[in-house]
Amino acid sequence: MSVISSGPDDPVIRILLMGRNTSGKSSSGNTILGEKMFKVHIQQKKNEAEYDFSEVCDGKTQIGEKQVHVIDCPDLLDPDLNKEKLEMIKEQLISRCSTGLSAVLLVVPLVRDVQNEEEIIDYIKCLFGPEVQKYVMILFTHEDELEELDETIDEHLKHKDHADLQQLVTECGGKFHCFNNKKESYDQIQKLLMKIERIMMRNSGKFVMKRMRRRSSMDAPEVICPHAFIIVIKVGRFTEEEKNTIKELKEVFGEQIEKYTMILFTHKDQLEKENKTIEEFLQDGDPNIQSLVQSCGNRFFCLNNNSASFPQFKDLISKIEMMVEENEGYFRNDIFEGTEKCIQEIQKLDHLGLAEEFLYEEEHLIKTHEYIRVIVTWLNEIGDDVNAIKELKRKGISNTEAVICAFRSTGKLAKQDMCGVQ
């Protein structure tokens, strides 16, 4: 069941709205639905505490021949969300999206700085699988403020100060749309639906989570033990979930995990803007980060994802190699060694798609560690940046971005997939 129904004949358009806090998700949902179905934040109103904004909500409407379903999801990376709440949201989300998605709209307010949008894209990919990327489109809100600046969207994106917005659009294959949620305009909805139908046509139908598909037991992957666990943390943003990462990893894999773990700080460029080194950032920063770094044997690395320069990866790989050398090889424990057997056991049960889910997550975990293993080998063999990149391309990894993604996702996968193993 890879495709539910193809584009133009499909009577249902199902749209998932994601994005950071107060980006305009609920307002955009209401604009599409043509009525106030979702609760919108009222500016300057402080006593909204009684209303719970951290719920997945949905609404339907008929637009022409199409039944349009809208799913409004709260910011999954909101540091104020506790673990139980986050789990509940993820469950609600997966259940409501299980019948297929026509598009995932990443809601981004124009005329504001980009914040954690890239992480949200990564999170969506972790949750639904990498294929969902083809269905992600940026929905810019606050178009009215652009009008006040007397700028067109193209002019705004091309401006040198908005390279981060342009980068987001590029990451979503150039797909974007603008909404002014303060204006009733059928035209902006109609154009959005046309763009969504184009996405469905290009991908021959809706996106269906792989974990929902049935797979044969022949597909069982081989389990590869990892060289390294990399916890990815954005400089200046330290969530409750991240604070407990090492503790959770230890609970699953035992104390020795510390020796195999390294912190990868991203957004080095942000530090450069503040004229700070990573060491200074750590010294003056949150004591929880300091103790996390300490618990990883003071192994850390700082990466600028905006500069796809290969030397920084080479440095990162050297650090990983040093760690591997010190540890004399892979991380091995009963969990990894027993995983393959466990997969087979679960497959035997073949219970309500549980096996699919498990396999699906395992596949990701393996792919990520494969990247690291393979890159280390190539760098050893080739020792030449240009050739290494060519080799990556030859092996089907389109560019270094693929490698960045692999590294970036490792921390999250380490957390999420290990819980899958548990």
- Angle at 134 (CA atoms; ends 95, 219), nearest 5 degrees: 65
Q: How far is the CB of 21 from ligand GTP (least distance, A)?
A: 4
Binding residue for ligand GTP, selected from 75, 122, 171, 361, defined by CB under 6 A: 75
User: Is there binding between residue 7 and ligand GTP (CB under 6 A)?
Assistant: no
Q: How far is the CB of 51 from ligand GTP (least distance, A)?
A: 10
Residue 182 binding: pick among ligand GTP, Mg ion, none (C-beta 5-8 Å cut-off by kind): ligand GTP
User: Is there binding between residue 43 and ligand GTP (CB under 6 A)?
Assistant: yes
User: Is there binding between residue 116 and ligand GTP (CB under 6 A)?
Assistant: no
Tokens of 104: 């995932």
* CB-closest chain residue to Mg ion: 26
Q: How far is the CB of 42 from Mg ion (least distance, A)?
A: 11
User: Is there binding between residue 188 and ligand GTP (CB under 6 A)?
Assistant: no
User: Is there binding between residue 30 and Mg ion (CB under 5 A)?
Assistant: no
User: Is there binding between residue 74 and ligand GTP (CB under 6 A)?
Assistant: yes
C-beta of 10 vs 143, nearer to ligand GTP: 143
Cα distance between the two ends of the chain: 28
User: Is there binding between residue 27 and ligand GTP (CB under 6 A)?
Assistant: yes
- Angle at 373 (CA atoms; ends 372, 376), nearest 5 degrees: 85
Distances, alpha carbon 166 to alpha carbons 155, 160, 169, 176, 368, in Å: 11, 10, 5, 10, 27
Q: At what angle do helices 117-128 and 163-171 cross, to 10 degrees?
A: 10
Residue type, 382: I
User: Is there binding between residue 234 and ligand GTP (CB under 6 A)?
Assistant: no
Q: How far is the CB of 134 from ligand GTP (least distance, A)?
A: 24
Burial of 357 (0-12, 13-18, 19+ CB in 10 A): middle
Residue 141 binding: pick among Mg ion, ligand GTP, none (C-beta 5-8 Å cut-off by kind): ligand GTP
* Residues in 143-162 at the binding interface with ligand GTP, rule: CB under 6 A: 143-144
Binding residue for Mg ion, selected from 14, 20, 26, 175, defined by CB under 5 A: 26
| # chain residues binding ligand GTP, by CB under 6 A | 22
Residue 312 binding: pick among Mg ion, ligand GTP, none (C-beta 5-8 Å cut-off by kind): none
User: Is there binding between residue 85 and ligand GTP (CB under 6 A)?
Assistant: no
Residue 171 binding: pick among ligand GTP, Mg ion, none (C-beta 5-8 Å cut-off by kind): none
Residue 144 binding: pick among Mg ion, ligand GTP, none (C-beta 5-8 Å cut-off by kind): ligand GTP
Of 21-29, 254-262, 280-288, 394-402, the segment contacting ligand GTP by CB under 6 A is: 21-29
User: Is there binding between residue 53 and ligand GTP (CB under 6 A)?
Assistant: yes
User: Is there binding between residue 55 and ligand GTP (CB under 6 A)?
Assistant: no
**Where does this chain bind Mg ion (CB under 5 A)?**
25-26
**Where does this chain bind ligand GTP (CB under 6 A)?**
19, 21-27, 40-41, 43, 53, 74-75, 141-144, 179-182
